[in-house]
Amino acid sequence: MSTTYRTLGRSGLRVAPFGLGTMTFGQSGWGCDEEVAGQVLDTYLGWGGNLIDTADIYAGGESERIIGRYLADRGARADVVLATKYSMGARPGHPNAGGNGRVAMRGALEGSLERLGTDHVDLYLVHAWDGTTPVEEVMRALDEVVRAGLVRHVALSGVPAWYAARAATIAQWRGYEPPVAVQLEYSLAERGLEHEFPGLCREVGLGLMTWGPLANGLLAGAYSSVAHAEDPEEAELPDGRIKATSARRNPATDKRNERTWAVVRALEELAAEVGATPAQVAIAWLRDRPAVTTVLLGARRPEQLEQNLRAADLELPAEARTRLDELSVPPRTVPYGFMPWAQSLMNADLEEDTL
């Protein structure tokens, strides 16, 4: 396996093409305990990875504690790009504990630094847009924690494209620390970000950090029998997060639909053709999508992560990519169905490489 690095957005921060997502750490039911989490971290760092992504909400803060103890025990803090997030720390009776405001941010950051056992984080992210706090307040507060030496770089997660564009513009206009990345879900089962974000990232200089490359295991190969069932909706689900949360049918964790089952079947066939696993094929497809800087991989076991990291060396044939593209293409919505036709009329006399 090989490891190369990419700069994150318009910054000098170098990150591996695969980061380690740690939502599973300390999570009961579908996660892993501290001992196994340490083995997962050993596997990732041994591969040459350097980006560890967590959040204050993961396992009620236990993910951060596990990472902090691990880095302290091995003296490895300086070897990693440590990223965490805030926004979702709301508690009954404490209206300013959650959301994107300055008070919530400072309180959340203090808690994260204590749990991580460090005096700074390398990347601090707004976890999700709260729909309330003015973007000016968010960017000013992020700039303050950078100037205070508590944070090195800032980024946005779970925000609309217009919000990310406005945040980047305000930071440039006001001289605030600019966001260097956006973090969003992206996979063969969820391609909605393609309408706006690749173009946005190129235009304003943001790296694209993606999570959920296997759609919570749906694309990893374990659901092949379900995909081939006469009625996938009635088939028995394998143990995992989708089964554990299936009663809620949360779109953030459950991507089951006809289009996705077709992708699952295609991944099985293509994996056999190229001598890889379905998960490796799905990850390799995502790794080279436009604007993607790093793909966050989560794991419950070290051997699972080791297998998925092998996607770094997998080059998919062009016909395999085309097949996956066509099977998984999302429906076009306004104005994206209209624009290609209109632009073809307006730009008919332009050479293709000037568009």
Catalytic residues: 58
Q: Are 56 and 97 in contact, with CB atoms under 8 Å apart?
A: no
CA 141 to chain centre: 23
Beta strand pairing call for 292-297 and 18-21: parallel
Class of residue 144 by CB neighbours under 10 A (exposed 0-12, middle 13-18, buried 19+): middle
In one-letter notation, the amino acid at residue 110 is: E
Instruction: State the DSSP H helix or E strand holding residue 291, giving kind and residue range, or none if neither.
Output: none
| Alpha helix (H) residue ranges in the chain | 34-47, 62-74, 102-116, 135-147, 161-174, 197-204, 224-227, 241-244, 258-274, 278-287, 302-309, 318-328, 339-346
Of 37, 10, 314, the C-alpha closest to 153 is 10
Please provide the DSSP assignment of 145-214 as one string. Answer: HHHTTSEEEEEEES--HHHHHHHHHHHHHHTPPPEEEEEEE-BTTB-GGGGTHHHHHHHHT-EEEEE-TT
